[in-house]
């Protein structure tokens, strides 16, 4: 049996499957990842959380960058990998979806918000650091486009920040705990489009391995956990998942009722 058949079998036989996605699941939607050539790091150096809090120029730079980066997120549509992951949930073949991504494409593809654990926040919202009011990023983006270099909260005048986790900022405690719990209790853990170099997020597949789960890696380039994978695809996520779903649908349709 080929690797696609093996992957279909793993999904059919798993009772607590978890999928873990990184920036690579969204490159086929036109959103560059961080570390591939031409990725985001080639263009921007990260803005540290402490600088954002202390330095008005760092905040202005954040909103200025958003003028270029946010329209890319806004225009992106889910690709076949996002759509397949949402279909796996509808088929009852997904227990938990952990993502490092901030683009909200899993939810737009139809994954239930309750199933998705966002480790690094979501770029489509902005929050006031003083009164915790929450705004649509698109509305704040329009204010920046109209000339506000550093938009402030229209309710209390407080500092606004996109609800993404900055470098040096603490990861959301509840999301991390839920992700740890799901990883430690799964029987299948599928990595999709992550270089697995950012911790603690990249530690989740290690927790799954310690729980004796089967590990699958779908990534365009090698990772340090490849030798532990039961099945591994060095390929584009959209292609692998489209083919997986074609096979899975046939297998499910031919199963006795």
- Whichever of 17 and 104 has its CB closer to ligand NAD, that residue is 104
- Contact flag: residue 103 with ligand NAD (CB under 6 A): yes
Considering only residues 4, 9, 16, 36, which one is a binding residue for ligand NAD as defined by CB under 6 A? 36
Considering only residues 19, 84, 85, 102, which one is a binding residue for ligand NAD as defined by CB under 6 A? 102
- Contact flag: residue 100 with ligand NAD (CB under 6 A): yes
| Residue ranges in 212-231 that form contacts with ligand NAD under rule CB under 6 A | 218-221
| Residue ranges in 229-248 that form contacts with ligand NAD under rule CB under 6 A | 236-237
Considering only residues 10, 14, 23, 179, which one is a binding residue for ligand NAD as defined by CB under 6 A? 23
**Does residue 194 have a cis peptide bond before it, meaning omega lies within 30 degrees of 0?**
no
Encode the chain in three state secondary structure: CCHHHHHHHHHHHCCCEEEEECHHHCHHHCCCCCCCCCCHHHCCCCCEHHHHHHCHHHHHHHHHHHHHHHHHHHHCCCCHHHHHHHHHHHCCCCCEEEECCCCCHHHHHCCCCCCEEECCEEEEEEEECCCCCEEEHHHHHHHHHCCCCCCECCCCCCEEEEEECCECCCCCHHHHHHHHHHHHCCCEEEEECCCCCCCCHHHHHHHHHHCCCEEEEECCCCCCCHHHCCEEECCCHHHHHHHHHHHHHHHHHCCCC
Query: How far apart are CB 246 and ligand NAD at their closest, in Å?
Result: 18
- Contact flag: residue 198 with ligand NAD (CB under 6 A): yes
**Binding segment (CB under 6 A) for ligand NAD, from list 6-14, 48-56, 62-70, 96-104:** 96-104
- Contact flag: residue 118 with ligand NAD (CB under 6 A): no
**Structure tokens, 27:** 């490159």
User: Closest residue to ligand NAD, Cβ-based?
Assistant: 24
Q: 106, 120, 124, 141: which is the annotated catalytic residue?
A: 120
| 120 belongs to the catalytic site | yes
Q: Which are the contacts of 187, defined by CB distance < 8 A and separation ≥ 6?
A: 14, 15, 16, 17, 211, 212, 213, 214
Query: How far apart are CB 95 and ligand NAD at their closest, in Å?
Result: 21
Considering only residues 3, 9, 16, 34, which one is a binding residue for ligand NAD as defined by CB under 6 A? 34
- Whichever of 86 and 153 has its CB closer to ligand NAD, that residue is 86
- Contact flag: residue 40 with ligand NAD (CB under 6 A): yes
The catalytic site residues sit at 120
Give the footprint of ligand NAD on this chain (CB under 6 A): 22-24, 26-28, 31, 33-36, 39-40, 100-103, 120, 193-195, 197-198, 218-221, 236-237
């Amino acid at each position: 049996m080929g690797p696609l058949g093996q992957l279909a079998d793993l999904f059919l036989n798993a009772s607590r499957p978890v999928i873990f996605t990184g920036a690579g699941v969204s490159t086929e939607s036109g959103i560059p990842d961080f570390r591939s050539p031409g990725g985001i790091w080639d263009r921007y150096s990260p803005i540290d959380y402490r600088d954002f809090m202390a330095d008005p120029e760092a905040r202005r730079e954040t909103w200025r960058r958003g003028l270029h980066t946010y329209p890319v997120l806004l225009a992106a549509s889910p690709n076949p990998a996002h759509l397949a992951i949402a279909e796996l949930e509808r088929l009852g073949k997904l227990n938990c979806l952990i993502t490092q991504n901030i683009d909200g494409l899993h939810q737009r593809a139809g994954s239930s918000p309750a199933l998705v654990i966002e480790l690094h926040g979501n770029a489509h919202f902005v929050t006031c650091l003083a009164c915790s009011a929450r705004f649509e990023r698109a509305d704040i983006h329009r204010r920046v486009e109209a000339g506000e270099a550093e938009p402030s909260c229209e309710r209390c005048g407080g500092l606004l920040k996109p609800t993404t986790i900055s470098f040096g900022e603490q990861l959301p405690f509840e999301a991390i705990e839920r992700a740890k719990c799901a990883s430690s209790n799964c029987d299948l853990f599928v990595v999709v489009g992550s270089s697995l170099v950012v911790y603690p997020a990249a530690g989740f597949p290690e927790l799954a391995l310690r729980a004796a789960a089967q590990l699958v890696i779908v990534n365009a380039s090698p990772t340090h956990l490849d030798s532990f994978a039961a099945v591994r695809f060095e390929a584009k996520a959209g292609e692998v998942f489209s083919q997986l779903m074609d096979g899975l649908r046939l297998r499910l349709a031919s199963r006795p009722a």
